[in-house]
Structures are given as C-alpha cells and as structure tokens.
Structure 1
Amino acid sequence: MKLRYIAFLLIIFTVTACKETADNKEEKSKEVENTVEVVEETQPKVEKNIRPLESGEYFTLSIGETSAEKYKPHFNLNVEENRISGFSGCNNFSGSFTMEDGNISFDKMVSTKKMCAEGMEFESQFLKSLEETEKFNYKGYTIQFLNEDDEVLMKFKIKD
C-alpha cells in the first residue's frame, strides 16, 4: 500500500512540476518578443549596391547568354585612378570609368586593331556591352553589368 501511495505522489509531483501556468507562458512570450526587437534594432540596414567594385583582375564569364570561356576576355580595374584595361578576346583595350552607388559607366575606350580569324564578333559585342553598361550588381560571387533597363549585359568574377 505504501508503494502505491509513494508512486501516486511521484506522479502528481512530476505532472505539477512540469505544468506551465498561463502567467509563465505570457512572461516567456514577452521575453522572446523583446529579444526579437533588440536583434532587429542591432542589425545594420543594408542597401542594394552600396558595395563598390574593388581594384583587381576580373574574368569575364559571359556576355549576354554567350559563354566567354573560348576567348577568355579579362580586365583590370584600378579604382583609385578610375582606369580599366584588359583583353577583349582579340585585342587589348583601355579606358576610364566613373562609379558611384551601384552605377558605373565606361568612356574614352581605345583598343589595338589586330585582326583575328576568330573572335572579332565576340570582341565587338564585349566592347559594345561595356559602352552600354550603366549599373553593376552582385549576385553571389558573380558581378553583373546591367544596362539602363536592368538587363544583364555581362557577368564577371574577380580573381581570387
């Protein structure tokens, strides 16, 4: 009989010890809400395209839907001097650029005039896309150059 009585008391004690009261639930809910508010207040506000392009070597991945792998165009950006120079698939090129708040434009572009059996059409599209570029955007590790209608003209990756 004593054993049943002890078992009954243990069961009652276990059930009542684990039971949350309505007040206890409300307090925990408020704690969670306050924690969420503090976290939201401390998170920095990030705006799209506030990260500028860095100086360095960039490898072209594609122009529009065309892969750039065959011609391997690349360029170097010098952000301090606002200069660009590189290889467009057949010839070398250089020029200047202006960049501000996710916008970028290229001007005063010049290139060598070497004839190539292959790559002339690709090179022409490459240089034309640079001239039409007005914006840039980061998509993961890829950098995109966009025109005024936000159409992707070119995709790049910076050299690691």
Structure 2
Amino acid sequence: MTKKAVFLLVLFSIISSSCCPTKTKEVTSTLGKSDFYDYAWELEYLSGTRIAFEGLYPEQKPFIMFKESGSQFSGNTSCNGYSGKYTKKENSIQFGDAIKTMIFCEGGGEEAFLKMLGKVNKLAFDSDNKLLLLIDDIPMMRFKKIAKPQQ
C-alpha cells in the first residue's frame, strides 16, 4: 500500500468514528422499557449514503415507533407511512419487510432509510439516551425521542 492510501484509510477511519457516539448502553439498562415503546423516534443520522442527510430529508425526517405487543414497528419514511414486525431479544433486533403506502418519493431518502433498517441487527442507547440502530457494533442510524402519541 502506498503512503497516500494508508493516510486516506487512517483519515477515513478517524472521520467515520467521530461522527457517532461510541459509548452505548443496552436497552435493558437505565432507559426502561416504558421509555422505549410507544414513543416516536426521529432520525438524526443515517450512515452509508452519498447524499448529505439534509439533502435526503429536506422537509421532514423519518421516524419509527415500536409496539411491544405484537412486536410491531411503524412510522413515516419522510414521504410514506410504513409498518411491519420486528424480532427483539435483549439488544439484538431484526426488522421484517416494511409495508408502505405508495406515494412517489423523490431524492432517495425513503429507499436509504428502509434499506438500512433491513440491515441493522442491534440496538443501543448513547449517553444522551438517543436510540442507535447498529450493524454489529457500528452505529448506522441515530434517533431522538420526540413524542408519545395520543392514545
């Protein structure tokens, strides 16, 4: 490997590791189950896209909600509503295929969101109690809690 390639690899590693908090805690720690389920979690960060986050979601950010009963998730991709089932055991999670409404969406944000949701396999919370969805131990999506919907 050339010196330039090594330098670029080190630089990329530093940049990618600094973009997301690395201190995480499992769902079962200080953030209780009642603080996780039935809240809307708004996306703040999405890894792996070539388009800047604000370019993907210029008007509305995606959100996700988890229902404990029935292991269901739902939300909005910033364009369409979606829902599906998930499997969770401790800090491992798998999302089933999301069923979504069929409004045409521009910009690639919906596709990037749903594609990444299908890849993640773990969840955790950072030191600010933000929800992290990870691939193994690498945060790929970060959400902030925004509201508990009206019953």
Q: What is the TM-score normalised by the length of structure 2?
A: 0.64
| Bigger helix share | 1
**Secondary structure of 1:136's match?**
strand
Aligned-residue RMSD, C-alpha: 2.0
* Unpaired runs of at least 5, structure 2: 1-24
Between structure 1 and structure 2, the one with the greater Rg is 1
Cα distance between partner residues in 2 of 1:144 and 1:133: 10
Q: CA deviation at 1:100?
A: 1.2
Structure with the bigger RCO (C-alpha within 8 Å, sep 6+) is 2
Please tell me whether the aligned partners of residues 121 and 134 of structure 2 are also in contact (alpha carbons under 8 angstroms). Answer: yes
Are residues 1:123 and 2:100 paired? Answer: no
Are residues 1:60 and 2:73 paired? Answer: no
Q: Identical aligned pairs, as a percentage? A: 25
Q: Residues 6-155 of structure 1: matches in 2 within 5 Å? A: 48-51=25-28, 53-64=36-47, 66-67=52-53, 70=58, 71-116=60-105, 118-119=106-107, 121-139=108-126, 140-148=128-136, 150-155=137-142
The number of residues matched between the two structures is: 110
Please tell me whether the aligned partners of residues 27 and 125 of structure 2 are also in contact (alpha carbons under 8 angstroms). Answer: no
* Unpaired runs of at least 5, structure 1: 1-47
Q: What is the TM-score normalised by the length of structure 1?
A: 0.61
